[in-house]
Chain A
Amino acid sequence: MASYMLRRFIGSIIVMWAVATLVFFMLRFVPGDPIAAMLADAGGPDEIEAMKRNLGLDRSLFVQYAIWFQNMLHGDLGNSIYGSRVAVTAVLAEAIPRTLSLSLLAFVIALAIALPAGILSATRRNTATDTTVSLLAFLGLSMPDFWLAILLIIVFAANLQWLPAIGYAPLSDGFWPWFSHLILPSIAIGTAFSAIIARMIRSSLLEVLKADYMRTARAKGLTPWMIMFGHALPNAMIPVITVIGIAFALLISGAVVVENVFAIKGLGRVLIEGILNRDYPVVQGAVLVVSAIFVFSNLIVDLLYGVIDPRIRLN
């Protein structure tokens, strides 16, 4: 198990390196010149040359790559080539907590809905409860998240005025300001995720409930609660965890879109502004962080497997 995890960890680092490299070169083949964008009509050819030299963009692509890579290893992701040329790490340090807060809260809310929904529909298969859950899940899956986001703003922020419509407050401002700004976007992002997980839990549970060991648990005269949480769920969650790992990616990409609707300056906003401005270092940094989140959430899923399934942990 330990050596397996070490191999997975090294594999993850290689994946991140590959993604970062790919993005580095892809960005430079995207049409559009950052200097032209920055100086607009204001600069002559001399100024453009000076600017390029200043930013290191006059060197060959491979030299640029080598410098970027070396700096990255030292934790220096460069500076934005735009505006006040603020350090990329500073931009990210501001954006990451927002996106992470958003995704994690969405994750928690989604699981808090999916778990009981999945359990109810599996244990009451083919009843009104089951049908209702299936319908809601279908609805949740078919609604685009940006659309749901707008709907939520109209209802809960504009009409009912229960929650702020846009913006973000850091946790240091207090729990409620932070939480209240994140509820609506979290629901917008988490709904589809929740629907996927609920359906997955349902089908996985239905399979597990037929198992011989479940009959053994019933033969012990255990309480329904002990049977569900002590025997059925620990088995049913094994395939669900795989899906959670994959669906977490969906959550992050959902965050990128929904941040823009709610004007939260998280990684999504940073990424999109960076691309529009051809702000290479910022885009590279943001992509690096997003891929790190992906890779490490998958790593956590692998770890969870071992925690939940002794057949993996002990082999």
Chain B
Amino acid sequence: MTLLRVENLAIDVARDGGSCRLVHDAHFSVDRGETLAVVGESGSGKSLTALAVMGLLGEGLSVSGGRILFGDEDLAQMSPQARNDLRGSRISMIFQEAMTSLNPVRSIEHQLIEGMRLKKRLSRRAARARALELLAEVGISDPERRLKQYPHQLSGGMRQRVMIAIALACDPELILADEPTTALDVTIQAQILALTSRLCRDHGVGLVLITHNLGIVARYAQKVAVMYGGRVVERASARQLYRAPQHPYTQGLLASVPRLDLPRDTPLRPIPGAPPDPTVRLGGCRFHPRCPRASDLCATEVPPFVTDGGHEVACLHSGSQSSKPKGAAA
């Protein structure tokens, strides 16, 4: 059953009278107990999309089109109060900045139990008991002692574990994890990712795992949505995507990261050029200036999604190897 379905989401930022579109067309869905990876270079609009789902877009930013269906309600149409009720209880989020996402002057206990006390109406004692369980569950030893401590007494990996515990505290249905490991040591990264995806699977929580590293998602996600320049350009199961990436951008991304399934000495080839500047108008496919297969049509035509056995791609020249144009009608 579909838990979250983001359709044609557009996000604008207001600037000197007018507005500038930052996210053009985010489109994906995630089921209960499933992990969806949203992958793309930095600046492709992943964080904004997640914040829009949370209803936490910053000042000047707004959802200007599309739908965010949670169950059968459109979050984009909900009142701020109703959204605040959902936050923390049915949808929670884990952020990128492990070191700074916890309040430095409040104890771990306070930060863990305040949500449960508010959202689940637990007594202090019950919330505390649950907090101890949660800390144990995210792999923190000596939870009694940790509860009394403050963020500065914890390592980065430990803080991110606390954030995961906070996200799980009220038994949410959906968790958005925005690059939860980028600020951490490489050795800790895999642990945190494994922990997050395991807990979500065990608790039947839908997980949207945002990352810029296509190399790591294979192990943890069932589905992948590839985002480029504010638009989702390819959606597939993780297996399909790795075996036969269709979009030239996805292929470029895969060639630029180390992979376990290829020989060790396979050279890494970064995608030349840089992601589009959202302030500059760009027609057609947003990837065409960097695309090795781009034709004249790509600069004018926004490619529609083409589905092939659950593998969806928005490219006029998609395909594993061939560079033969398929035409806009395909």
Contact B101 A215 (CB under 8 A): yes
Q: Which of B86, B105, B115 contacts A235 (CB 8 A)?
A: B105
Please name all residues of chain A whose beta carbon is closer than 8 Å to the beta carbon of B93 when the two chains form the complex: 219
CA distance A235 to B110 in the complex (A): 15
Q: Which of A212, A219, A238 contacts B97 (CB 8 A)?
A: A212
B54 interfacial contact with A, CB 8 Å: yes
Please name all residues of chain A whose beta carbon is closer than 8 Å to the beta carbon of B100 when the two chains form the complex: 211-213
Chain B: minimal CB distance from A202 (Å): 17
CA distance A217 to B119 in the complex (A): 13
Q: Is the interface of A mostly helix, strand, loop or mixed?
A: helix
CA distance A42 to B118 in the complex (A): 81
Contact A230 B105 (CB under 8 A): no
Contact A213 B114 (CB under 8 A): no
**Listed stretches A146-154, A184-192, A303-311; interface member:** A303-311
CA distance A231 to B118 in the complex (A): 15
* A311-B152, A314-B153 as given contacts; A221 in contact with B104, CB under 8 Å: no
B56 interfacial contact with A, CB 8 Å: yes
Contact B95 A311 (CB under 8 A): no
CA distance A212 to B111 in the complex (A): 14
List CB contacts (< 8 Å) of A233-258 with chain B: 234-235, 238
Contact A226 B150 (CB under 8 A): no
B85 interfacial contact with A, CB 8 Å: yes
Please name all residues of chain B whose beta carbon is closer than 8 Å to the beta carbon of A308 when the two chains form the complex: 105
CA distance A216 to B100 in the complex (A): 10
How many chain A residues have a CB neighbour from B under 8 Å? 23
Contact B105 A221 (CB under 8 A): no
Contact B84 A221 (CB under 8 A): yes
Contact A221 B56 (CB under 8 A): no
Contact A220 B87 (CB under 8 A): yes
Please name all residues of chain A whose beta carbon is closer than 8 Å to the beta carbon of B84 when the two chains form the complex: 221, 223
Contact B114 A212 (CB under 8 A): no
Chain B: minimal CB distance from A306 (Å): 11
List CB contacts (< 8 Å) of B91-120 with chain A: 92-93, 95, 97, 100-107, 110-111, 114-115, 118-119
Q: Which residue of B lies closest to A219 (CB)?
A: B93
Contact B95 A222 (CB under 8 A): no
B63 interfacial contact with A, CB 8 Å: no
Please name all residues of chain A whose beta carbon is closer than 8 Å to the beta carbon of B54 when the two chains form the complex: 219
A59 interfacial contact with B, CB 8 Å: no
Contact A216 B103 (CB under 8 A): yes
Q: Which of A220, A231, A310 contacts B92 (CB 8 A)?
A: A220
B89 interfacial contact with A, CB 8 Å: yes
Contact A311 B150 (CB under 8 A): yes
* A221-B86, A235-B103 as given contacts; A212 in contact with B95, CB under 8 Å: yes
Among A213, A222, A226, max chain B CB count under 10 A is at: A213
Q: Which of A217, A223, A234 contacts B105 (CB 8 A)?
A: A234
Contact B87 A309 (CB under 8 A): no
Please name all residues of chain B whose beta carbon is closer than 8 Å to the beta carbon of A234 when the two chains form the complex: 103, 105-106
Q: Which residue of A lies closest to B116 (CB)?
A: A220
Contact A218 B87 (CB under 8 A): yes
List CB contacts (< 8 Å) of A264-315 with chain B: 308-311, 314
Please name all residues of chain B whose beta carbon is closer than 8 Å to the beta carbon of A218 when the two chains form the complex: 56, 87
Please name all residues of chain B whose beta carbon is closer than 8 Å to the beta carbon of A314 when the two chains form the complex: 150, 152-153
Contact B115 A222 (CB under 8 A): yes
Q: Which residue of B lies closest to A210 (CB)?
A: B58
B303 interfacial contact with A, CB 8 Å: no
Chain A: minimal CB distance from B80 (Å): 10
B163 interfacial contact with A, CB 8 Å: yes
Chain A: minimal CB distance from B128 (Å): 17
Please name all residues of chain A whose beta carbon is closer than 8 Å to the beta carbon of B88 when the two chains form the complex: 219-222
Q: Which residue of A lies closest to B87 (CB)?
A: A221
* A212-B97, A216-B95, A216-B163 as given contacts; A222 in contact with B102, CB under 8 Å: no
Q: Which residue of A lies closest to B152 (CB)?
A: A311
Contact A221 B89 (CB under 8 A): yes
Contact A222 B114 (CB under 8 A): yes
* A219-B56, A221-B85, A231-B106 as given contacts; A212 in contact with B150, CB under 8 Å: no
Please name all residues of chain A whose beta carbon is closer than 8 Å to the beta carbon of B105 when the two chains form the complex: 234-235, 238, 308-311
Contact A217 B103 (CB under 8 A): yes
Chain A: minimal CB distance from B177 (Å): 12
What per-residue 1/0 map shows which CB atoms of A76-96 lie under 8 Å from chain B?
000000000000000000000
Contact A235 B102 (CB under 8 A): no
Please name all residues of chain B whose beta carbon is closer than 8 Å to the beta carbon of A220 when the two chains form the complex: 87-88, 92, 114-115, 118, 166
21 contacts between A and B (CB under 8 A): A211-B100, A212-B101, A213-B102, A216-B102, A217-B103, A219-B88, A219-B93, A219-B95, A220-B88, A220-B118, A221-B86, A221-B87, A221-B118, A222-B118, A226-B114, A226-B118, A230-B110, A309-B104, A310-B150, A311-B152, A314-B150
Q: A235-B103, A311-B105 are in contact. List 14 more A-B contacts (CB 8 A).
A: A212-B97, A219-B54, A219-B56, A220-B114, A221-B85, A221-B89, A221-B118, A222-B115, A231-B106, A235-B105, A308-B105, A309-B105, A314-B150, A314-B153
Interface residue ranges, A against B (CB under 8 Å): 211-213, 215-223, 226, 230-231, 234-235, 238, 308-311, 314
Interface residue ranges, B against A (CB under 8 Å): 54, 56, 84-89, 92-93, 95, 97, 100-107, 110-111, 114-115, 118-119, 150, 152-153, 163, 166
3 A-B pairs with least C-beta separation: A221-B87, A221-B88, A220-B88
